[in-house]
Every structure is written in structure tokens, then in C-alpha cells.
Amino acid sequence: MFLAVLRTTSDTQPWAQRLSFAACRQPAKVAAAASADQLQGVVHSLEQAMQPSIDIYRDALAHGPAEIQILAAYGLGMAQLDIMVHARIAIPSPPDLMTNLPAAQHYLELHHALEPLIADHAKAAADAFAQAEKLAADHESAASANIVMQNVVASARRNHQDLAGPAQSQ
């Protein structure tokens, strides 16, 4: 019912409604990953949980007006970051991390095992933020239409630079 398009004369209102719905979706709760064998399942379950939102963002990116495309590219990047963040959170920090060397090593090993599993999401997020930047440059009036759009573009730029690293963002 939240995806039904309202009758309106606005070009952006139906799209904004869909993007709002996509942004409100939360990833499924995932169990803590105590071993490297469990990490792939964690990532897969997060991907499945975020897929409906990602589909909405891609549809808006392909078919929406310029302002909506910018917002959709940004939302797509944030969805990819959500997957990464929630996957990292699934690795519990041992309470004695600072004093128990074996526990600390296991914690680091799990994080090292996770990073290759979420590398594609980091690239997809960087690409989405770069696309938001390009769309903003191509559609300056949409990108500067209001303070929300200006903040989205600025955030996309910062996120892209953070993900790309210093060598690629210059």
C-alpha cells in the first residue's frame, strides 16, 4: 500500500514517497558471527533484506526526474553502506578485547575475513555516490533546489571521497 502512487500534479511527489519507503526499510536482524564460516550467511541475509530498497532506488534512478535520480543514487549508496556497517556490527567485540590477546586476535581475524565479502558493496557505494555527484553536476538546478538537495550532494561527495581514498579522489 505504501508503494501506491498518489494522484498529484507533482512530478516528484510519487517518487519521493517511494524513496521515503525505501529509506525506512531496516535490514533484518542478524545473529552474531562467532566464526568466519558464518560471515557469508550474515552478508547474504543483509543483502536479501536490503534488496527491495535497492530495487526501488534503481527504478527511481532509471525513471525519475533529475532531483529524484540524485536522491536515488545517494540512497543506493547508503543502502550499500548499511550492508557493510551491519555486517561489521555482527562481529561481537569481546568484553576483554584489550586484555585477552587470543580474543583480540580472533576478533581481528573475523574482521579480516569479512572485508573481502563486503568489498563489492564498498565499490557499489562509491559508484552510487559518484553517480549522485555526476547527476548533480549535470542538473545543477535540481542539485541546488533546496537545502536538502544541497546536503545530499555534499554528503555524496564526502562519502565518495572517503570510499575512494586519497589517491582516487584527486
pLDDT tens-place string over residues 40-99: 999 999 999 999 999 999 999 999 999 999 999 999 999 999 999 999 999 999 999 899
Closest C-alpha among 39, 64, 61 to residue 117: 39
Secondary structure element (H or E) that encloses residue 75, with its range: helix 66-89
Q: How many CB atoms lie within 10 A of CB 131?
A: 20
Q: Rounded to whole angstroms, how far apart are CA atoms 162 and 47? A: 22
pLDDT(8) > 80:
no
* Residue 5 backbone zone (phi > 0: left; psi -120 to 50: alpha; other: beta): beta
Q: Write down the pTM of the prediction.
A: 0.88
Which three cell numbers mark 78? 547508503
Rounded to a whole number of angstroms, the CA Rg of the chain reads 18
The overall average pLDDT reported for the chain is 90
**For the chain, which residues make up each domain, given as ranges?**
37-165
Query: What pLDDT score was predicted for residue 26?
Result: 67
Closest C-alpha among 76, 83, 78, 17 to residue 46: 83
> For 109, which DSSP code?
H
Query: What pLDDT score was predicted for residue 27?
Result: 63
Helix 39-63 / helix 66-89 crossing angle, nearest 10 deg: 180
Which three cell numbers mark 8? 498529484
